[in-house]
Structure 1
Amino acid sequence: MTHSPHDSELRAAARHIGRRRFLTATSAAAALAFATNLPTAQAAEGDPRSITRDPFTLGVASGDPRPGSVVLWTRLAPALFEPGNGLPDLALPVSWEVAHDERFSRIAARGTTLAHPEFNHSVHVDADQLDADRRYFYRFRTGGWISPVGRTRTAPATAADNGSLSFGVVGCQRYDQGHWTAYRHLADEDLHAVFHTGDYQYEYAVNSTAGARAYPAGTLPPILNRETVTLDDYRLRYALYHSDPDMRAAHAAHPFIVTWDDHETENNYAGDHSENNDPPEEFLIRRAAAYRAYWENMPLRAPQQPTGPDMRLYRRLHFGRLAQFDVLDTRQYRSVQAPGPNWQAPHPASADPARTMLGAGQERWLQDGWQRSRALWNVLPQQVVLSERRDQPTPDYLVSHDSWDGYAAPRERLLAGAEAAGIENLVVLTGDVHVHYGFDIKRDFADPASRTVGVELVGTSISSGGNGSDRPANHDRLLASNPHLRFYTARRGYLKVTLDREQARADYRTIPYVNAPGAPLATAASFISPVGNPGLRPA
């Protein structure tokens, strides 16, 4: 791993902060903020007329729709890869508008906020006093510059008897492994929202040709050709990712509801345990930088703003009486994976009831939310495969210990909690594995005849893993090993999911290649799961 020069300073600072002090002392957050150069907003206000280049190069986004509000996001960056993005170390006023029409002749809400340099000149506006279940258009202004126009949509009223809801499911977009044509197609879908299930960015170095994108040599600057470790590293990587025009189109078309997986920080990390077993006090400094950059670059509200290495990302959204979405975080609080390789035989540690995937607080929050839910559909957007996934149909099978198979006791608690709360229409949304899967969730995976208690819809990657294939080499073996697996393909793309009063429908969208732009869109398969009788059937 290549470290930036500033990394040695961070690590030197970390050695003077013990692990217990990191996790328990009241001064921990302040000490960590100092060590990672994460001050609160305090810069003097500047004159936006001094901006001489377009500052809206990263586009616009919206997210976390509620019945009367939605988050609006942008980040000022006239020069993506220059220090400070080509802006002065001053807070810059940014005005925003929400309108009923694309010409902005009927304004619904407007205001002005400050883009602070301490937050990399990002803007997070909680635009409220809007109507429920309505499409809006929005834009930003600063100096003489006007942003692209974005389109968003508020959620239905909590008590509304709404009849249908459509949303996208995306994840895993490694920049240097292919073009993001799937996002361009996603922008054309008619959706209420898009759920991002993690791996929004990857920490690995990106060379000057952007890997599989095969740009002309020298297109990207050398500063990107190192692993992300410091706050500046992560900020630069998000600038690269947001610069992609297909991603900008998708963000401008739909509100996004995001959660992270591992690569937003580091591959396969678990809580304060890093992939390479770094001292926790060192890894938490890196995690603080990653979490800060994540919040700066996502359409998230102020309650999600991190404090040092901690960030409350799990949250609940209601879409009328039709659906309750409990967005989970399976990285920040989990127990460390069982010792040994990721794919191994079931490990005794996985059955230890002391182990956790969600942490005690998030588990209680989920169970309480399920107990109070009055929604027809209860949906869990989360990161790693929940259903059992054996690699072969023999007694010496292996499972992935980074997924819920490595956390069998926490999985049992989750399924028992859903059962105790009377959850009849459970839908789990998953990413991580760069393939499309469709699972029936069994109450007892060891018994194929066990009751089906919900369905798991796993969305493939936008680009991670390259082109993929329609029928991967292990296709037949995996289906034979897991009778509850109903569908499997390894092309890139996304999911479109539609919920109504009768069924859930999953359309598995795919594209044939990502090593070149312009791939056409197809629907590889469609499945339904009826209300009150869960289980995937071909549509």
Structure 2
Amino acid sequence: MDDSRRRRSSAEPLSRRLFVAGLGASAAAVAGPALIRADGAHAAAPGTGGALPDDLFSLGVASGDPLPDGVVLWTRLAPDPLAGGGLPPRAYPVEWEVAEDERFSRVVRRGREVALAQFGHSVHVEVDGLRPGADYVYRFRAGGRISPVGRTRTAPAGATSALRFAFASCQNWQDGYFTAYEALAAEDLDFVAFLGDYIYESEPRTTTVRTHEGSGEPTTLEEYRNRHAQYKSDVHLQAVHAAFPWIVTWDDHEVDNNWADEIPQDPDKQSPAQFRARREAAFQAYYEHMPLRRRSRPRGLDMQLYRRLGFGDLVDLHVLDTRQYRSDQPSTLEAAETDTSLTMTGDEQERWLVDGLTDGSTRWNLLANQVMWAQNDRRAGPEDVFDFDNWDGYRVQRRRMLELFGTDQVSNPVVLTGDRHCTWVCDLEPDFDDPSAAAVGAEITGTSISSGGNSDPDRFQATYRPIAAESPHWKYFDNQRGYMVCDVDRDRMLSSLRLVDTVWQPEGATVRTAAEFVVEAGVPGVTVEYEEPRAVHRRAQTRREAGPQYEVDDVEEHVDLGR
């Protein structure tokens, strides 16, 4: 894509190469000894309660939910992040700055927030007054300590010719290092969409590549804070947060595997009251660690996470929440096919989604979604085996939505999905069992960052090729680790699958573009434009097999559900 289309915020462009390289430098070295006022003079040390520990900004910085005139800026004061944060339970003033250049000589916004103990000393700054489609840098200061510098970009406004973003999901700490983020941080993107399973709630295991903190599954607020803090300590994850604005949503592991509304995975082990308390704790810790706006601040059992972000007249991104309002998973295929009360989203969110899809304001409608929409049989032959935690369990609502996709009310719908630890690219059809059914949209399910560890593609392909012969809506499937980069313009959406050859070493993994998928505007469905030669695939597998071998904590792709 032609980078000349990007509108920079000043005549002096922000250098991504230098910016990413500088993320590892100390905050003091990057930011200088004092904050800089808009007039270029050095400000006096702010009254932030005296000196605080050197590792005050140990969890890095982040931005999120870009609008044409602003973004959310995030950090958390946590000098001892795996022990509840490490600060006394009082408030701390935190200053922030947004500038047009990396030296902060052109500061355009600045202010002060208060980091409160009841929110884990996290800071959520909603900056406005910025210019559309522009790059900025930002930083924080508290108690004489200066944070690393982050970079962000506002959303475009009005007529927009192109958009470039990445999406990712499923980053299990125990299953592997976040090596894919080393490459992702060097991309040139408008934003990153994260589609769920930011943390895993599973208990620590010593047989995996690295071990979860704590002594069991988190259930309390402090335990969820510690788990989030461990994940945020990853240097590659911090680098990607500091490089782009993120748009986040959750799936199940941020709370409890396969939870549905107020129902845990194992109701025989968690009473309703216990799970409600656990859900509240998990919601608050999630908010404390994500660059979310104040309207997403949890209120008891509830947290407003579904939302819509616009990128000029090109893209509406509909961010879904398919956990908080869903019905319990059905236990039979008959119930999944006929029970009209089953809902993945709840009635209110479905009405909100329909309204947004049909307002006709943009060229593309993209859904940031957690679990697969496309029918996904798990066994070859006449017997059907489905995972009812996916949309396969909520077929009445799925058909209703896909029939809407097939009308002229919805412009170019594409569902972006996480969860599966695999890449699964599919046509969407109202009736997947009807060979004559026409495609009404496309779904691109992205693989995991680390969940599932180093994969076995040969075994995976041997399992699913016979099923693919019975599933003509499947266009591509693979189970290696990585992320997806999407280039959207007026005519098409090109999605490039970036894969790493190993997640069992902390850095230096080789990244390659393994496949490319195209959705043409006005033409429902998706095509495979490029697929890497088998020789490249084999070289990558040889490297995976040559290194150390570890068990994995969470495997989705080979589960035999027996339903």
Please, what TM-score do these two structures have when normalized by structure 2?
A: 0.83
* Alpha-carbon distance between aligned partners in 1 of 2:284 and 2:337, rounded to the nearest angstrom: 31
Aligned residues between the structures: 479
Alignment-derived partner of residue 401 in structure 2: 414
Question: 1:115-137: per-residue Cα shift (whole Å, max 9, x none)?
Answer: 11110000000011000111111
* Alpha-carbon distance between aligned partners in 1 of 2:463 and 2:193, rounded to the nearest angstrom: 28
SS of the residue 1:295 aligns to: helix
CA contact (8 A) 2:402 2:429 kept: no
Alignment-derived partner of residue 212 in structure 1: 208
CA contact (8 A) 1:324 1:373 kept: no
Alignment-derived partner of residue 111 in structure 1: 111
SS of the residue 1:499 aligns to: strand
Residue 237 (str. 1) matches residue 263 (str. 2): no
Measured after TM superposition, the shift of residue 422 of structure 1 is 1.6
CA contact (8 A) 1:77 1:86 kept: yes
Equivalent residue in structure 2 for 1:506, among 482, 486, 495: 495
SS of the residue 2:82 aligns to: coil
* Percent of residue pairs identical: 46
CA contact (8 A) 1:391 1:477 kept: no
CA contact (8 A) 1:156 1:319 kept: yes
Residue 532 (str. 1) matches residue 533 (str. 2): no
SS of the residue 1:103 aligns to: coil
* Alpha-carbon distance between aligned partners in 1 of 2:370 and 2:165, rounded to the nearest angstrom: 17
Alignment-derived partner of residue 521 in structure 1: 511
SS of the residue 2:326 aligns to: coil
* Alpha-carbon distance between aligned partners in 1 of 2:398 and 2:202, rounded to the nearest angstrom: 31
Question: 1:71-108: per-residue Cα shift (whole Å, max 9, x none)?
Answer: 0000011112234x221211101001111111111111
Equivalent residue in structure 1 for 2:447, among 460, 467, 485: 460
Measured after TM superposition, the shift of residue 243 of structure 1 is 0.2
Alignment-derived partner of residue 319 in structure 1: 311
Alignment-derived partner of residue 483 in structure 1: 472
Measured after TM superposition, the shift of residue 393 of structure 1 is 4.1
Alignment-derived partner of residue 147 in structure 1: 147
Q: CA RMSD in A?
A: 1.7
SS of the residue 1:49 aligns to: coil
Q: Structure 2: state its 5+ residue gaps.
A: 1-46, 530-563
Q: Which amino acid aligns with 1:495?
A: M
Question: 1:461-485: per-residue Cα shift (whole Å, max 9, x none)?
Answer: 1100001134413131232231111
Measured after TM superposition, the shift of residue 212 of structure 1 is 2.9
Bigger shift: residues 141-150 or 414-423: 414-423
SS of the residue 2:333 aligns to: coil
Question: 1:472-528: per-residue Cα shift (whole Å, max 9, x none)?
Answer: 131312322311111111100001111111111111111111111221101111011
CA contact (8 A) 1:392 1:480 kept: no
Aligned pairs for 1:288-437 within 5 A: 288-339=280-331, 346-420=333-407, 422-437=409-424
SS of the residue 1:448 aligns to: coil
Q: Which amino acid aligns with 1:268?
A: N
Measured after TM superposition, the shift of residue 296 of structure 1 is 0.6
Residue 264 (str. 1) matches residue 251 (str. 2): no
Alignment-derived partner of residue 533 in structure 2: none
Q: Structure 1: state its 5+ residue gaps.
A: 1-45, 340-344
Change (3 A) 1:71 1:452: same
CA contact (8 A) 2:501 2:510 kept: yes
CA contact (8 A) 2:175 2:210 kept: no
Please, what TM-score do these two structures have when normalized by structure 1?
A: 0.86
* Alpha-carbon distance between aligned partners in 1 of 2:117 and 2:325, rounded to the nearest angstrom: 30
CA contact (8 A) 2:476 2:528 kept: no
Measured after TM superposition, the shift of residue 228 of structure 1 is 0.8
Q: Which amino acid aligns with 2:294?
A: A
Residue 195 (str. 1) matches residue 193 (str. 2): yes
Measured after TM superposition, the shift of residue 303 of structure 1 is 0.4
Question: 1:138-171: per-residue Cα shift (whole Å, max 9, x none)?
Answer: 11111211111111100011xx111111111111
Residue 60 (str. 1) matches residue 61 (str. 2): yes
Measured after TM superposition, the shift of residue 424 of structure 1 is 3.5
Bigger shift: residues 428-437 or 442-451: 442-451
Residue 440 (str. 1) matches residue 427 (str. 2): yes
CA contact (8 A) 2:402 2:428 kept: no
SS of the residue 1:400 aligns to: coil
Q: Which amino acid aligns with 1:52?
A: P
* Alpha-carbon distance between aligned partners in 2 of 1:82 and 1:285, rounded to the nearest angstrom: 21
SS of the residue 2:400 aligns to: helix
SS of the residue 2:358 aligns to: helix
Question: 1:234-260: per-residue Cα shift (whole Å, max 9, x none)?
Answer: 000011000000000010111110000
Measured after TM superposition, the shift of residue 214 of structure 1 is 4.7
Measured after TM superposition, the shift of residue 205 of structure 1 is 1.8
* Alpha-carbon distance between aligned partners in 2 of 1:52 and 1:272, rounded to the nearest angstrom: 40
SS of the residue 1:288 aligns to: helix
CA contact (8 A) 2:64 2:245 kept: yes
CA contact (8 A) 2:48 2:144 kept: no
SS of the residue 1:165 aligns to: strand
Alignment-derived partner of residue 178 in structure 2: 180
Equivalent residue in structure 2 for 1:474, among 463, 477, 492: 463
Alignment-derived partner of residue 534 in structure 2: none
